[in-house]
Structure 1
Amino acid sequence: MQHQEGMAGPELVRWVEYERGMHARWMADVTGPSMHQVTDLVIARRPARLYRPSADAALPALVYLHGGGWVLGDIDCYEGVARRLAVACNTAVVSLEYRRAPEHPFPAALEDTVAAMEWLGAHGGEWGMDASRIGLAGDSAGGQLAAAAGLRLAASGGPRPALQLLIYPALDLRDQRGYPDIMTRVLSLYLGTRERTDGEVSPLLAADLAGMPPTVIATAEHDVLHLQGEAFAARLQDAGVAATHLFGQGLQHGFLGQLSTVPATADFLTAIGSKVRRILQEAPGAGLRS
């Protein structure tokens, strides 16, 4: 990302458009397998895309929240990731077009995620999903959104995800080690003056993690955020939540953008998917419920 401090109005708009275009071109390198079905939907007033890897009836599903620092990315440029995630986890994947900053700062994306989970709990069966086995998945900023949504749903008594899959998630937004310039820029657009110790902003700092769903956290060796992922897994376990930490040796932040070019990345996604499948198979009917 280029520097944007002090930008406003048309200059900020041009910067955001430029960075979104660059991000889309980078993610275009990720290709994905063919699907049995790909359908564009509107879920709780937000665009979404459903990927079904097979004709199996009542597939479990993952609501996928893409990365991009709450500012970049959309369901089109994460098409390849969503397809690969569907195959690796043997689930339907619902890629959600959540609202992005700066047009829609916090908590818009979080509200979209919670609304999508509630909608799928009521209507997922109409689209061939097992409404008792719908989980949340996200990478980087999307991982933060998935964890925050899990917290909000647990606190409100809303529908409970069958699991959470958090891939190199940002879980403590006070911590900018490794990416100080980038985090300063995107967080100013996403959060403004919002307190970063709020649990829905920094899930690692949430006071109570009890009631969270089974969680798989996948981190990368060459990513300072792996420390946050490890700490979150430990806190979940202390709260009585089944949490698994998978460590991507030799990988870096954003490795989902290398699925088509780095074999180790594809192999790690296969391992992640295997763990997700086991969780969904071992707890049928214990997932999303009102």
Structure 2
Amino acid sequence: MPAQAPEPAVRGLIDAMTSVFPQVGTEIDDAVQARTILAAAPKSPAPEIPVAEVRDLAVPGPGGDIPVRVYRPDGSAPADVLPVVVFCHGGGWVLCSVDTYDSSVRALANATGAVFVSVDYRLAPETRFPGAAEDAYAAYAWARANAAEIGGDPARVAVAGDSAGGNLAAAVALMARDRGVAQPTFQLLLYPVLDHRRATESYRENAEGYFLTAAQLAWFWTQYIGPDGDPAHPYASPGTADDLSGLAPAFVVAPALDPLRDEGVAYARRLAEAGVVASYGVYEGMFHGAIGMGALVPTAATAFAEATEALRKALA
């Protein structure tokens, strides 16, 4: 059943965001140009969200050191031993950075009471699959081995991410299982990219008009996989993996107005069928990327609250 049309205020927000976001896959085909356009977009006037501490570190990765930004939540003391969340940002594996997601990660850290490790993984097309996935996995392995260094508990290390970052978080869980490494405590997947086939009903319903478009997603996949890569590899398309057993518990946020809605729901259902404790929420009137826009998108506030509550409970 098609999603309900957004309220006028939400419609205006979608149109405003669309007007400054690079129209890759239709008007723009160059990643550097797309990044330049995104960098020139107006910045939010909102004041910086306070946290207890922010540290920029480098962790060893398969292609050299990986920059990470570590956030301790507001109100925490230096001696507190907190759960850890390894977070991967969105941007279609091509755009964005830890800087772009600074405000989002601050809000998530404060809402969950966890130390967040935000990963500046290598971007496509300069580094194609599996580069970003391997960087995310390396950051997860580092966080487990070095949790004490950042005031974290090595027994409570979750993964999280939005959009392409949700893809990477899901891939980390699969990689950890396949490599005999301890599973994350939890996987929080915010409107994740999970299925290269792009053939769901929500892709048809929400192909354009709700910020993220089907054409953009096709372009992002091409940049990430390249001409010789395998888009069906489970670490690229976790939603097409044959075996989802033995993975960490999960919660999936699936905005109703998102082309990715149905693959997120399908992944949560497949996890549950495989014996994994997994759940999902479909949020009417919410579009891709809106998790931190609860003041303007009412159902996004609900999604943020339910997502952070699921993560907080899992890490308790």
Q: Which amino acid is 2:105 matched to?
A: A
The size of the alignment, in residue pairs, is: 276
Structure 1 contact 222–253 (Cα < 8 Å) conserved: yes
TM-score relative to the length of structure 1 = 0.88
TM-score relative to the length of structure 2 = 0.81
Structure 1 contact 42–48 (Cα < 8 Å) conserved: yes
Does residue 216 of structure 1 match 2:280? no
Structure 1 contact 30–80 (Cα < 8 Å) conserved: no
What percent identity do the matched residue pairs reach?
Answer: 36
Q: Quick one: distance in 1 between partners of 2:156 and 2:232?
A: 31
Residue 14 of structure 1 deviates from its aligned partner by 4.4
Structure 1 contact 117–159 (Cα < 8 Å) conserved: no
Equivalent residues in 2 for 1:7-86 (5 A)? 12=30, 14-22=32-40, 25=41, 28=44, 33-44=49-60, 45-53=65-73, 54-55=76-77, 57-86=80-109
Q: What residue in structure 2 maps to residue 187 of structure 1?
A: 221
Q: What residue in structure 1 maps to residue 18 of structure 2?
A: none
Q: Quick one: distance in 2 between partners of 1:171 and 1:228?
A: 6
Q: Quick one: distance in 2 between partners of 1:88 and 1:247?
A: 21
Residue 211 of structure 1 deviates from its aligned partner by 1.3
1:195-237 Cα offsets, whole Å, 9 max, x none, are 2222111111101111110111111111131111111111111
1:104-131 Cα offsets, whole Å, 9 max, x none, are 1111110101111111111111210011
1:232-288 Cα offsets, whole Å, 9 max, x none, are 11111111111011222321111135356445423421221111111122xxxxxxx
Structure 2 contact 57–70 (Cα < 8 Å) conserved: yes
Equivalent residues in 2 for 1:91-240 (5 A)? 91-175=114-198, 177=203, 178=207, 179-193=213-227, 194-240=229-275
Q: Which amino acid is 2:174 matched to?
A: L
Q: Which amino acid is 1:64 matched to?
A: F
- List alignment gaps of at least 5 residues for structure 2: 1-21, 208-212
Structure 2 contact 86–143 (Cα < 8 Å) conserved: no
Residue 43 of structure 1 deviates from its aligned partner by 1.7
Structure 1 contact 31–80 (Cα < 8 Å) conserved: no
Q: Which amino acid is 1:129 matched to?
A: G
Distance 1:260 1:83, change over 3 A: farther
Q: What residue in structure 1 maps to residue 301 of structure 2?
A: 266
- List alignment gaps of at least 5 residues for structure 1: 282-290
Distance 1:164 1:123, change over 3 A: same
Q: Which amino acid is 2:129 matched to?
A: F
Q: Which moved more, 1:237-246 or 1:173-182?
A: 173-182
Structure 1 contact 220–247 (Cα < 8 Å) conserved: yes
Distance 1:2 1:130, change over 3 A: same
Distance 1:204 1:265, change over 3 A: same
